Amino acid sequence: MITLFYSYSHKDEELRERLAEHLSYLRRDGSIAEWNDRDIDAGGDWATEIDANLASADVILLLISASFINSEYCWGIELKKALDRHARGEAAVIPVILRPCRWTRTPLGRLQAAPKDGKAVTSWLDQDEAFDDVASKVERVVVALLGKRRATAPSVGDQQIRRPSNADFTVFRDVDVPWCPELVALPGGRFLMGSSVYEGGRCDDEGPQHAVTIEPFAIGRYALTFDQWDACVSAGGCARYRPSDRDWGRGRRPVINVSWRDAQAYVEWLAKATGRPYRLPTEAEWEYACRAGTTTRYAFGDAIMPKEANYAERWLGKTTEVGCYPPNAWGVYDMHGNVWEWVEDVWHDSYQGAPADGSAWTDGEGNHSSRARVYRGGSWRSGSRYLRSAIRGGNDPGLRVNVLGFRVARTLN
């Protein structure tokens, strides 16, 4: 899959959306994954996320108008970085002329623009015809890049990965009551954690890709629900903290507005209530369970659809009840989207030096440390790039927001 970045002025938002519609056939067949600044999650660092996506995109579409040229950020930052990456051969840059302007008097005049003859989209009698011409040019670039990627991509020998069969999975509860989370028992195995440098949409913190051996463990079949959290509060646990549900409803919706420290309080209570060693999953365990034996961008393949997860493409604007979307091949639900999920590990900017045994990478930090902690999986607000199996995030362990929840895990003796 080829990653595509839109650089544009917000005054041209409607025209950008129309172009995205004309490119939807490439998105539907899994050829491209698009990103624009509307994909930034609440609380995300605007400049950092734009820079990261611009730095990793395979194709950069510069949507040109007088407003683009007048924008200090579009012209002074995004354009410069795009042209630098183009000059180094790191990205294909395509100027798309949206509205009439003197673009040929700028450095863009050296590049082949779209639509045909650099005629602005709004100057065409039939603007759909103009956008279709742009789409055909983008498609040619995408097809060429995909062909080059297939020719150079390394293969991973089957001997490097040991996957359990789908028949190995057991669903159970330690205590047969609704407040006790359902678990899926996963046998041990060996997998490649992180993303290949050839994966569309990857971030630098997803590498280096490395082999990890996982011991048998159990993970929550679903993200923890409000019902299960509220049972802890009713029993006097979880510091009696009752997080807001944003008026979306409680019940079987995943609990939100819970910090990493809140999650630790819950698993401590659950361990005492059941007599079992509950904890958060390690980051490696989480990705192992998410991938379910796959090496593709998502557990469902190299593309994801709104029927498979709750994310920004469908834009429900809130969480859904757990289990509304299909499980992965190992019977685990909602690992892509709905809520980001806290895991045990301390945040590191890369996997250099990460444990190879599936244990949590904590640097000896305790629960009261202020070090940032990792969360995984994307949320209802995330674009498809941020739902990939390898995607990572990290933040303050005290952060409480409406896109963050968690699921439990425990060791199997």
Q: What is the DSSP string of 359-395?
A: ----TT--TT--S-EEEES--TT--GGGGSTT-EEEE
How do 409-411 and 278-279 pair as beta strands?
A: antiparallel
Best CA proximity match to 343, nearest among 245, 223, 227? 223
75 conformational bin, left if phi > 0, alpha if psi -120 to 50, beta if neither: alpha
| Counts of helices then strands in the chain (DSSP H, E) | 10, 15
pLDDT at residue number 38: 85
Phi and psi at residue 70, to the nearest 5°:
-80, -20
Burial class (CB in 10 A: 0-12, 13-18, 19+), 307: exposed
pLDDT at residue number 41: 66
pTM score > 0.85 for this model? Answer: no
pLDDT at residue number 200: 86
pLDDT at residue number 155: 41
List, in sequence order, every residue forming a beta bridge with 93; answer none if it has no partner: 60
pLDDT at residue number 298: 95
Distance CA 190, CA 193 (A): 9
Distance CA 302, CA 331 (A): 19
CB 180 within 8 A of CB 211: no
Distance CA 212, CA 259 (A): 27
Best CA proximity match to 239, nearest among 229, 249, 227? 229
Distance CA 368, CA 241 (A): 18
pLDDT at residue number 139: 94
Residue in this structure with the two tokens 């510069």, named with its chain if needed? 62
State whether the Cα torsion 134-135-141-144 is positive or negative.
negative
Give the distance from CA 346 to its chain's centroid: 19
Residue pLDDT tens, the chain, 413 long: 688 999 999 999 999 999 999 999 888 777 788 888 887 766 667 787 888 788 888 899 999 999 999 999 999 999 999 999 999 998 999 999 999 999 999 999 989 999 999 999 999 999 999 999 999 999 999 988 877 765 544 443 433 445 555 545 789 999 999 999 999 999 999 999 999 988 888 999 999 999 999 999 999 999 999 999 999 999 999 999 999 999 999 999 999 999 999 999 999 999 999 999 999 999 999 999 999 999 999 999 999 999 999 998 777 899 999 999 999 999 999 999 999 999 999 999 999 999 999 999 998 887 777 899 999 999 999 989 999 999 999 999 999 999 999 999 999 97
**2-152 and 158-411 have identical folds:** no
**Both tokens of residue 14?**
């409607």
How do 59-64 and 92-97 pair as beta strands?
A: parallel
Rounded to whole angstroms, what are the CA distances from 231 to 112, 138, 219, 293, 301?
62, 53, 20, 34, 37
Domain 2-152 has CATH 3.40.50.10140: yes
Phi and psi at residue 351, to the nearest 5°:
-95, 10
3-class SS of residue 167: helix
pLDDT at residue number 42: 66
pLDDT at residue number 154: 40
Give the CATH number of domain 158-411: 3.90.1580.10
pLDDT at residue number 32: 84
pLDDT at residue number 159: 34
Count, residues in the chain: 413
Residue in this structure with the two tokens 């089957």, named with its chain if needed? 158
CB 48 within 8 A of CB 203: no
Task: For the chain, give every domain's residue range.
Answer: 2-152, 158-411
Rounded to whole angstroms, what are the CA distances from 238 to 182, 261, 346?
19, 10, 22
Phi and psi at residue 162, to the nearest 5°:
-115, 115
Distance CA 172, CA 182 (A): 6
Q: CB-based contacts of 405: which residues, under 8 Å, 6+ apart?
A: 223, 224, 254, 255, 256, 258, 338, 339, 340, 341, 342
3-class SS of residue 163: coil
